[in-house]
């Protein structure tokens, strides 16, 4: 279809629709139009149409115009009346209508439809208002996006009918889109019959793709214009929300803003000042309602001044209010506040309190009110708000049930009212006893002070320690009531006073018998150290005791801590001076049995504990400390507690009253050292000793890419160098660092947290730098790290390139040989290397190193002379070409490998291996040392003599290790060599037994004893014996060549005391040193053993002979 044909279609539809609309208005005067262009041209029916719309006569009309002038006058009269009613007519004149211009005539009619049927609003386009109302009103699944195609299938029209009159088209969702015309016919038929909507457009035109928007708006406007079904249903919906029938329109009823604020309030919105709004300030009230509605999600499609205007457009208001249909209501007032802490009972004349809490986030404390009513009174309730919670307090004045009503914004909340029982005021009832402590058999009086009106309700009962209850007889006094009773047994007697069903109080009386208590405790103590005495009060009652301490010179003190456990009371105090101290304990002024108690007090503050072992320690290293008792006698012991288990401690009496204690920490962490004398901790104990393992401080990441070929760390000039170390397994230590440059110390930043230490610094000076790293002030294994900084960058200059290395002069056939190109002084150039031979060139590989240096390597296929050309950024280095002589390679079969390290050793110790290449001819020795996990282990190589290489191996882990030794790239005989690293020595696992460490008789003495080292790790055994005349020779032999049992023997020849010291890797084994007493006769020996409580000689010898 052509554009012109389509245009003709919609013009035809519009012409019919507008004519039908005009005829609906002209029915009043029994007039009609058929052809708009002709029938309106004389102005007679046009004037009638305007008068019908404006409900007034507009002037004199030529009813039968006979000339064009009269027609023009009629049309001008109509146009002037329309213009006076604020209808703008652009480019439409009276001559256009008289001349029958159809398009301009249709335009005139559209302006009339807009003004008098659809909307008189100027702020918002009528199309937008209608579309917004339909979207807010009709179900969302219809997707109303326009006023033409969205309506063609008739479904939206049926949904509109169902909205205006529920039940008119309930099954509209089941309609099929392909039945568009029949759907529209049925809808228009129902609209006319049930709702009185005129059919100004046919169903065929409404379902036509040529339907124009103006025609559709004309028909649909009948559903939403004033007094239309849509208008009425909207009014009904608003009335339902407001619960009021006083809403009659969408214009003047809304001018004062009261209805809008009420509507917002019905949805739970917060309207400031509601319900006491200012009725004089319409615009302000309208603005309050619009703002409150906006908080609910209602868009501001109308202004306050527009809403307050009596001439406000009804469609604009109706469309604005239709947005409320999409608003989810907030909580009702009855649920906006709840009782958080209720109240069931209260006391007359006293404050009663309960708690309220706001539930909705939009709730306001100012809208909460509380009323309290009794039988004859209404106490005032005071609310104190803290956030969303309120403390509510009132004072009841009568002993009856009260009702507490809680309102939110004038509406009672759901949990209201609360019923509160008000009880008698028993606060003036006081119960006292003549004594809180009484002897058994002594009379006790109890007084009850109370108002006269309460005395008849008072009851007093007492209960014995055994649970027997008795109601006491009460006698009146001037102040109240009294009762007496005699406690017949020790313990706590209780009494309870009640006023009716209300308990007033409960009291206790302690009945005691001081003659049954007993004081015991130690006879000695120390200045500043706790002394604990015990008082057994079993049978004496639980009476508090009085303790007083008296020192020499008469000074007395009551600074004693008393604690109880069962029938025992512990009296703890700290003596303040040396000498004789007296402790006196009394009960009710009488000394108990055992009192007074006398103690002898010494000053332990003179005792000294010193040595590194009491300050710090390293895992696996023996730590020792000394205890100087300063002449104070007693059994001195030391306990060392590791992170998860106790640690074995050895003790040595180095001189009178001086002791040396040693222990070997096996784990990192905090160790607790407690030194005791006679089972009491010495002053300053316990000591907390941090034990660290600097070997567990590990450098994070692979350093090989950051190192040059000599192993030095390459530093970038002017940039931050960052090193990270893991410290989580190194124990409780502090990481520190120091960097020494050619110019002195550099500023270093150390950050230590979460088991990681970060070291950062910046180098700028050329030369070697030494990075010293410490864990708790001890250098870690990789410290110091040697680093090199090349200094500032230089310009490219080939004359400053240097070439070094054996490969630049000599090489060996089929042996990879290298040399170094050093461009540090030559700037950042690009190297190129050519090696020319007589018969062929030799390929040269280049690997970039740090600081503009390059490692070059080649493998010559045959002996002879070669020329080496080196270029630096295409410039030949002045010393080139260099002459290189290639000779035959050496013989790896003639290399000799020897040394004690090949047999293995202890993990953590240094092993030595010697590689001798003298007989093998010229060649290069390379070594690699691996642990059982194929991890590289440190191996230092030095050349003490030409052709001889000393390997220093440093195994750290227990297990099998392998040493690879190659000569000119080929393994030497025996390579790889296997060596085992054993565990570090553990003296605690060494056992010593046999008759040689027991007492005996000279001449019959069996001096042999065995030392079993199985499980004690790798170590050295040292046995020293000191007799009456000094040192003694010891014969030590292994039982088997590979066994771990050592047979020891010594030959004493005179009686006396022998001291046998057995050490494993310089540390005493358990029991060492052993003391052996030799006697001349059996009787002397038996007397000695009996005095010491040991076995007799015959018993011991029988056992050892059987074992050995």
Those residues whose C-beta lies under 8 Å from the C-beta of residue 636, and which sit 6 or more positions away, are: 627, 629, 651, 659, 675, 676, 677
Whether the CB-CB separation of 533 and 540 falls below 8 Å is answered with: no
Q: Quick: pLDDT tens for 927-943.
A: 999 998 888 999 999 98
Q: Locate the DSSP E strands across 316-417.
A: 337-341, 345-347, 352-358, 368-373, 382-386, 389-394, 402-408, 411-412
Q: Inform me whether the pLDDT recorded for 4 exceeds 50.
A: no
User: Which pLDDT belongs to residue 1092?
Assistant: 61
Q: Inform me whether the pLDDT recorded for 1103 exceeds 50.
A: no
Q: Quick: pLDDT tens for 836-869.
A: 988 888 999 998 888 888 999 999 888 889 999 9
d(CA 907, CA 1021): 18
d(CA 800, CA 527): 80
Of 128-137, 181-190, 485-494, which range is least confident? 485-494
Q: How far is CA 900 from CA 881, 897, 914, in A?
A: 48, 11, 9
Alpha-helical (H) ranges within 457-616 are none
- Give, as one character, the DSSP assignment of residue 1057: E
Q: Quick: pLDDT tens for 461-476.
A: 888 888 888 888 888 8
Mean pLDDT of 482-492: 82
Mean pLDDT of 1085-1090: 75
Q: Which of 364, 371, 362, 310 is nearest to 331 (CA)?
A: 362
Q: Inform me whether the pLDDT recorded for 540 exceeds 80.
A: no
d(CA 226, CA 115): 12
User: Which pLDDT belongs to residue 1099?
Assistant: 46
Q: What percent of the chain has pLDDT over 70?
A: 97
CB atoms within 10 A of CB 1015: 12
pTM of the model as a whole: 0.40
Mean pLDDT of 700-726: 85
Q: Locate the DSSP E strands across 399-457.
A: 402-408, 411-412, 418-423, 430-433, 437-439, 444-449
Those residues whose C-beta lies under 8 Å from the C-beta of residue 776, and which sit 6 or more positions away, are: 616, 690, 692, 694, 731, 733, 734
Three-state DSSP at 987 gives helix
Whether the CB-CB separation of 857 and 845 falls below 8 Å is answered with: yes
Q: Inform me whether the pLDDT recorded for 452 exceeds 80.
A: no
Beta bridge partners of 870: 833
Those residues whose C-beta lies under 8 Å from the C-beta of residue 109, and which sit 6 or more positions away, are: 18, 21, 22, 36
Mean pLDDT of 330-334: 75
Q: Inform me whether the pLDDT recorded for 1096 exceeds 70.
A: no
User: Which pLDDT belongs to residue 222?
Assistant: 92
Q: How confident is the model at residue 445 (pLDDT cuts 50, 70, 90)?
A: confident
CB atoms within 10 A of CB 248: 10
Whether the CB-CB separation of 1098 and 1086 falls below 8 Å is answered with: no
Q: Inform me whether the pLDDT recorded for 482 exceeds 60.
A: yes
Mean pLDDT of 941-965: 88
Residue 742 structure tokens: 């050619």
At 925, which helix (H) or strand (E)? strand 925-930
Stated length of the chain: 1108
Q: Report all structural domains of the chain as residue ranges with CATH numbers, in order of start.
A: 3-118 (1.10.418.10), 124-224 (1.10.418.10), 227-326 (1.10.418.10), 333-423 (2.60.40.10), 430-512 (2.60.40.1930), 514-602 (2.60.40.10), 604-691 (2.60.40.10), 694-789 (2.60.40.10), 798-887 (2.60.40.10), 892-982 (2.60.40.10), 987-1107 (2.60.40.10)
Q: Inform me whether the pLDDT recorded for 733 exceeds 50.
A: yes
Q: How far is CA 74 from CA 25, 65, 98, 109, in A?
A: 18, 9, 10, 16
Q: How confident is the model at residue 7 (pLDDT cuts 50, 70, 90)?
A: low
User: Which pLDDT belongs to residue 747?
Assistant: 93
d(CA 1040, CA 991): 17
Of 128-132, 174-178, 436-440, 623-627, which range is least confident? 436-440
d(CA 103, CA 533): 121
Distance, first Cα to last Cα, the chain:
127
User: Which pLDDT belongs to residue 185?
Assistant: 94
Angle at 437 between CA 436 and CA 442, to 5 degrees: 115
Q: Which of 577, 687, 589 is nearest to 639 (CA)?
A: 687
Half-sphere exposure of 62 (CA within 13 A, CB side): 17
Q: How far is CA 604 from CA 601, 611, 672, in A?
A: 9, 19, 20
Q: Quick: pLDDT tens for 595-652.
A: 888 887 777 777 889 898 898 898 889 999 999 988 787 889 999 999 999 999 999 9
Mean pLDDT of the chain: 86
Of 71-80, 289-298, 579-588, which range is least confident? 579-588
At 94, which helix (H) or strand (E)? helix 94-98
Q: Inform me whether the pLDDT recorded for 819 exceeds 90.
A: yes
Q: Inform me whether the pLDDT recorded for 1095 exceeds 70.
A: no
Whether the CB-CB separation of 218 and 201 falls below 8 Å is answered with: yes
User: Which pLDDT belongs to residue 1?
Assistant: 38
Whether the CB-CB separation of 494 and 506 falls below 8 Å is answered with: yes
Q: How confident is the model at residue 834 (pLDDT cuts 50, 70, 90)?
A: very high
d(CA 183, CA 176): 8
Beta bridge partners of 282: none
- Give, as one character, the DSSP assignment of residue 807: G
Whether the CB-CB separation of 585 and 593 falls below 8 Å is answered with: no
Q: How far is CA 814 from CA 846, 869, 917, 975, in A?
A: 18, 21, 19, 21
Mean pLDDT of 71-75: 92
d(CA 458, CA 455): 5
Q: How confident is the model at residue 45 (pLDDT cuts 50, 70, 90)?
A: very high
Burial readout 763-800 (b: 16 or more C-beta within 10 A, e: otherwise): beebeebebebbbbeeebeebbbebbbbbeeeebebeb
Of 201-215, 261-275, 788-802, which range is least confident? 261-275
Identify the residue whose tokens are 């005021």.
425
Of 121-125, 509-513, 520-524, 639-643, which range is least confident? 121-125
d(CA 926, CA 113): 106
d(CA 1068, CA 492): 60
d(CA 957, CA 908): 7
Mean pLDDT of 545-574: 83
Q: How far is CA 364 from CA 262, 273, 476, in A?
A: 17, 11, 57
Q: Is the peptide bond before 333 cis (omega within 30 degrees of 0)?
A: no
Q: What percent of the chain has pLDDT over 90?
A: 31
């Amino acid at each position: 279809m052509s554009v012109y044909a389509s245009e003709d279609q919609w013009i035809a539809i519009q012409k019919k629709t507008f004519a039908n609309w005009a005829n609906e208005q002209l029915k009043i005067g029994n007039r009609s139009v058929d052809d708009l262009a002709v029938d309106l041209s004389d102005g007679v029916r046009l004037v009638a149409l305007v008068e019908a719309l404006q409900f007034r006569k507009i002037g004199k009309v030529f009813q039968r115009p006979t000339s064009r002038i009269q027609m023009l006058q009629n049309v001008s009269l109509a146009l002037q009346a329309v213009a006076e009613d604020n209808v703008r007519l652009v480019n439409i004149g009276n001559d256009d209508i008289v001349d029958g211009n159809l398009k301009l005539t249709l335009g005139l009619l559209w302006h009339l439809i807009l003004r008098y049927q659809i909307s008189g609003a100027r702020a918002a386009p009528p199309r937008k208002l209608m579309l917004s109302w339909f979207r807010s009103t009709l179900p969302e699944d219809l997707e109303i996006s326009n006023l033409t195609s969205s309506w063609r299938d008739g479904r939206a029209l049926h949904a509109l009918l169902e909205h205006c009159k529920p039940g008119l088209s309930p099954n509209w969702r089941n309609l099929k889109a392909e039945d568009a015309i029949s759907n529209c016919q049925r809808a228009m038929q129902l609209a006319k019959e049930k709702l009185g909507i005129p059919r100004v457009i046919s169903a065929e035109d409404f379902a036509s793709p040529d339907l124009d928007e103006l025609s559709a708006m004309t028909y649909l406007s009948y559903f939403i214009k004033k007094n239309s079904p849509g208008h009425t249903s909207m009014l009904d919906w608003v009335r339902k929300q407001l619960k009021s029938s006083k809403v009659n329109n969408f214009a003047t009823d809304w001018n004062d803003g009261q209805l809008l604020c009420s509507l917002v309030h019905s949805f739970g919105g917060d309207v400031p000042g509601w319900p006491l709004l200012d009725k004089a300030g319409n615009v302000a009230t309208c603005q309050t309602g619009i703002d409150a509605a906006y908080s609910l999600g209602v868009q501001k499609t109308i202004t306050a001044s527009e809403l307050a205007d009596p001439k406000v457009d009804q469609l604009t208001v109706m469309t604005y209010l239709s947005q409320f249909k999409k608003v989810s209501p907030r909580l009702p007032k009855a649920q906006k506040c709840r009782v958080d802490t209720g109240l069931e009972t209260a006391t007359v004349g006293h404050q009663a309190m309960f708690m309220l809490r706001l539930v909705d986030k939009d709730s306001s404390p100012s809208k909460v009110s509380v009323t309290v009513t009794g039988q004859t009174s209404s106490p005032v309730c005071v609310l104190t708000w803290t956030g969303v919670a309120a403390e509510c307090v009132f004072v009841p004045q009568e002993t009856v049930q009260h009702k507490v009503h809680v309102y939110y914004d004038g509406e009672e909340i759901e949990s209201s009212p609360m019923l509160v029982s008000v009880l008698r005021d028993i606060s003036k009832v006081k119960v006292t006893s003549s004594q809180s402590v009484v002897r058994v058999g002594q009379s006790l009086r109890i007084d009850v002070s109370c108002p006269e009106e309460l005395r008849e309700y008072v009851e007093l009962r007492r209960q014995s320690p055994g649970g027997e209850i008795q109601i006491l007889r009460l006698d009146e006094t001037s102040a109240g009531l009294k009762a007496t009773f005699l406690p017949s047994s020790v313990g706590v007697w209780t009494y309870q006073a009640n006023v009716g069903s209300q308990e007033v109080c409960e009291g206790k009386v302690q009945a005691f018998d001081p003659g049954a208590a007993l004081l015991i405790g130690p006879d000695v103590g120390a200045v500043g150290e706790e002394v604990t005495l015990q008082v057994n009060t079993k049978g004496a009652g639980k009476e508090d005791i009085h303790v007083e301490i008296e020192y020499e010179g008469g000074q007395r003190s009551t600074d004693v801590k008393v604690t109880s456990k069962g029938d025992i009371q512990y009296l703890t105090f700290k003596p303040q001076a040396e000498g004789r101290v007296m402790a006196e304990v009394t009960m009710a002024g009488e000394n108990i049995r055992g009192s007074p108690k006398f103690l002898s007090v010494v000053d332990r503050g003179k005792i000294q504990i010193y040595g590194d072992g009491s300050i710090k320690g390293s895992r696996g290293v023996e730590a020792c400390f000394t205890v100087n008792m300063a002449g104070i006698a007693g059994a001195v012991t030391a306990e060392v507690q590791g992170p998860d288990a106790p640690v074995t401690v050895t003790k040595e009496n180095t001189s009178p009253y001086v002791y040396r204690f040693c222990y070997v920490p096996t784990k990192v962490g905090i160790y607790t050292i407690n030194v005791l004398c006679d089972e009491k901790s010495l002053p300053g104990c316990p000591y907390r000793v941090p034990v660290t393992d600097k070997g567990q401080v590990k450098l994070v990441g692979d350093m090989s890419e950051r190192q040059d070929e000599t192993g030095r760390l390459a530093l970038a000039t002017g940039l931050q160098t960052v090193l990270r170390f893991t410290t989580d397994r190194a124990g409780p230590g502090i990481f520190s660092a120091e960097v020494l440059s050619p110019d002195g110390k550099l500023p270093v930043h150390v950050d230590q947290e979460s088991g990681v230490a970060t070291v950062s610094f910046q180098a700028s000076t050329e030369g070697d730098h030494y990075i010293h790293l410490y864990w708790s002030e001890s250098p870690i294994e990789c410290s110091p790290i040697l680093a090199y900084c090349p200094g500032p960058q230089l310009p490219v200059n080939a004359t400053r390139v240097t070439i070094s290395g054996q490969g630049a002069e000599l090489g060996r056939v089929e042996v990879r040989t290298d040399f170094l190109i050093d461009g540090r002084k030559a700037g950042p150039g690009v190297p190129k290397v050519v090696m020319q031979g007589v018969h062929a060139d030799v390929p040269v590989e280049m690997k970039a190193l740090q600081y503009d240096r390059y490692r070059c390597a080649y493998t010559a296929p045959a002996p002879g002379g070669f020329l080496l050309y080196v270029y630096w950024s295409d410039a030949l280095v002045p010393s080139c070409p260099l002459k290189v002589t290639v000779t035959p390679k050496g013989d790896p079969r003639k290399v000799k490998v020897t040394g004690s390290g090949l047999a293995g050793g202890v993990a953590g110790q240094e092993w030595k291996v010697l590689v001798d290449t003298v007989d093998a001819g010229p060649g290069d020795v390379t070594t690699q040392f691996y642990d059982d996990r194929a991890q590289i282990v440190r191996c230092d190589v030095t050349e003490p003599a030409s052709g001889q290489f000393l390997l220093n191996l440093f195994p750290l882990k227990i297990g099998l290790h392998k040493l690879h030794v190659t000569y000119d790239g080929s393994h030497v005989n025996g390579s790889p060599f296997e060596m085992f690293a054993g565990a570090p020595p553990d003296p605690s696992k060494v056992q010593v037994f046999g008759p040689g460490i027991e007492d005996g008789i000279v001449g019959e003495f069996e001096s042999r004893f065995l030392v079993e080292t199985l499980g004690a790790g790798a170590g050295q055994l040292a046995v020293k014996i000191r007799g009456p005349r000094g040192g003694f020779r010891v014969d030590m032999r292994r039982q088997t060549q590979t066994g771990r049992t050592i047979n020891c023997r010594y030959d004493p020849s005179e009686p006396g005391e022998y001291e046998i010291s057995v050490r494993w890797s310089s540390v005493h084994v358990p029991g060492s040193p052993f003391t052996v007493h030799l006697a001349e006769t059996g009787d002397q020996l038996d007397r000695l053993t009996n005095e010491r409580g040991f076995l007799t000689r015959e018993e011991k010898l029988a056992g050892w002979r059987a074992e050995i």
